[in-house]
Structure formats: C-alpha cells, structure tokens
C-alpha cells in the first residue's frame, strides 16, 4: 500500500503499512512544527499528519501529548547543543587568557546565534514541561556544561577570582538567555542585523567585565 506524505513540500511515500520508525518520525515532525510555530504548534494531530499517519498511531509511541512535547523539547535542546558545539570547535583551545576569554564569548555567541536563527526551536527547548530538567553535568557537551568549562578556564587563566566563581554560570546564562529572549520574542525582535549585533556585543562585553573585574 502506498501512502503519500507531504513533508516540506516534497512528496514522499511509504510502501508498507507499518512505518518502521514512527517514534523518531514523529519527533522529527514535531521539531519541524516547533521550528516554524514554536512549542504551541507541536500537536499530536499535526505531527501525525506530517509523518503521514493517523493521530491514533502516535499513541503507540507516546503516552499522551505531553510525552511527545517532552521528546520534541529534548530534540530541540540537542540541536542547541550541537549548534553550540559546532561553533565552539571554531575557537582556539589554548589555556592563556586570550583564548579563555574567547571561549567564554563563544559560548554566548553560539547560544544567541542559535536562538536568532531558530527561534521556534529555541523556545521549545525551554518550554516548561512536566519532565525534570537533567542536572547540569559539567564537561558534557550541553550548553550549560560548555559555559561551566569556559568559566573554569577563566579561573585557570587567572582572569577570574576563585571567590567569584560560584553562581557565575547562572549569572552569565541569565544574561545571555535574556538577550536571546528579547531579541527573538520580546520587544527587541525587529532590530536590524546591525543593531542586533551591536546589542549582542555590548551585552557580552558587560558580562565579561562583570565576571573578570571586581
């Protein structure tokens, strides 16, 4: 049996009654919906339709709508992590002051760049769900881990006092997160590329000085 499915304007086809990998297909479909419409666009019905399947079929793989949204949220977070990881690989890994500073700045830039280019996924990643957020694991390729590593690098390079290290990751994260939010869904959306870049620079500079000065 042929079932025709329309994804991104491309007509695909399914040759078997069984899908094969419906769970992942639904998550992928959910991510596409989130990309263009944010977390609110991630519905069982829409994801099933995008995957070329009946809404009922989704219930073979997810307990309910919240479970699908949880999975899509994880997917969105993974994409943020990947994007940041890719960006981080472009900056020097040295342990002198200059490189340490560059790495901190890169975590911020990578984060904001993802938010600006994929606002729907960004907001989906931070949608409040039932699932507990996984505890921060320094050293792992999570955004939070990368930030922690960069801050440790600052201390190691002698740019930041050890006594200023506690909670620095939350202060820096807050600042960068707020910028991402204001730029994408807040009153600062609609800024030109030039204005946006200026604000980003000003913010990152404030954060750097705030963490290394004092």
Partner DNA sequence: TGTACATCAGTGAACGCGCGTTCACTGATGTAC
The residues that touch DNA, with contacts defined as CB under 7 A, are 1, 3, 16-20, 22, 43-46, 52-57, 59-61, 64-66
Say how far apart CA 171 and CA 178 lie, in whole Å.
Answer: 11
Using rule CB under 8 A, residue 101 touches its own copies: no
The DSSP letter of residue 1 is: -
In the complex with its own copies, which residue's Cβ is closer, 28 or 70? Answer: 70
Nearest C-alpha neighbor of 63 from the set 94, 92, 26? 26
Using rule CB under 8 A, residue 188 touches its own copies: yes
CB of 44 to DNA, least distance (A): 4
Nearest C-alpha neighbor of 207 from the set 175, 182, 179? 175
Nearest C-alpha neighbor of 82 from the set 70, 94, 71, 74? 74
Using rule CB under 8 A, residue 189 touches its own copies: yes
Cβ(50)–Cβ(72) below 8 Å: no
In the complex with DNA, which residue's Cβ is closer, 44 or 77? Answer: 44
CB of 28 to DNA, least distance (A): 14
Task: Kindly tell me the sign of the dihedral angle through the C-alpha atoms of 59, 62, 63, 69.
Answer: negative
Q: Coil, strand or helix: which one is 168?
A: helix
In the complex with its own copies, which residue's Cβ is closer, 106 or 160? Answer: 160
Longest Cα separation, the chain: 69
Using rule CB under 8 A, residue 186 touches its own copies: yes
Using rule CB under 8 A, residue 209 touches its own copies: yes
Q: Answer with the entry of DNA, its own copies, none that 77 interacts with (C-beta below 5 to 8 A by kind).
A: none
Cβ(191)–Cβ(183) below 8 Å: yes
Using rule CB under 8 A, residue 27 touches its own copies: no
Q: Answer with the entry of its own copies, DNA, none that 44 interacts with (C-beta below 5 to 8 A by kind).
A: DNA
- For the CA atoms of the chain, what is the radius of gyration? 20
Q: Answer with the entry of its own copies, DNA, none that 22 interacts with (C-beta below 5 to 8 A by kind).
A: DNA
Q: Answer with the entry of its own copies, DNA, none that 93 interacts with (C-beta below 5 to 8 A by kind).
A: none
Q: Answer with the entry of DNA, its own copies, none that 64 interacts with (C-beta below 5 to 8 A by kind).
A: DNA
How many Cβ atoms are within 10 Å of 194's Cβ, its own excluded? 8
Classify residue 158 as left (phi > 0), alpha (psi -120 to 50) or beta: left
Residues interacting with its own copies, by CB under 8 A?
126, 128, 133, 166-168, 170-182, 185-189, 198-199, 202-203, 205-211, 213-214
């Amino acid at each position: 049996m042929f079932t025709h499915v329309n994804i991104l304007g491309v007509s695909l086809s399914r040759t078997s009654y069984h899908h094969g990998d419906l769970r992942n297909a639904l998550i992928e479909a959910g991510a596409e919906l989130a990309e263009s419409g944010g977390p609110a666009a991630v519905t069982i019905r829409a994801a099933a339709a995008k995957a070329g399947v009946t809404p009922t079929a989704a219930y073979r793989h997810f307990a309910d709508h919240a479970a699908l949204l949880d999975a899509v949220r994880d997917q969105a977070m993974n994409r943020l992590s990947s994007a940041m990881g890719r960006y981080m690989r472009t900056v020097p890994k040295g342990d002198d002051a200059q490189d340490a500073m560059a790495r901190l700045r890169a975590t911020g830039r990578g984060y904001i760049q993802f938010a600006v280019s994929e606002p729907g996924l960004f907001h989906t990643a931070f949608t409040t769900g039932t699932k507990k957020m996984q505890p921060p694991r320094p050293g792992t390729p999570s955004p939070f881990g990368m930030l922690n590593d960069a801050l440790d690098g600052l201390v190691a390079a002698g740019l930041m006092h050890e006594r200023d290290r506690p909670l620095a990751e939350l202060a820096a994260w807050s600042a960068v997160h707020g910028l991402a939010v204001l730029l994408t869904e807040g009153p600062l959306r609609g800024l030109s590329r030039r204005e946006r870049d200026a604000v980003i620079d000003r913010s990152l500079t404030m954060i750097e000085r705030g963490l290394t000065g004092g």
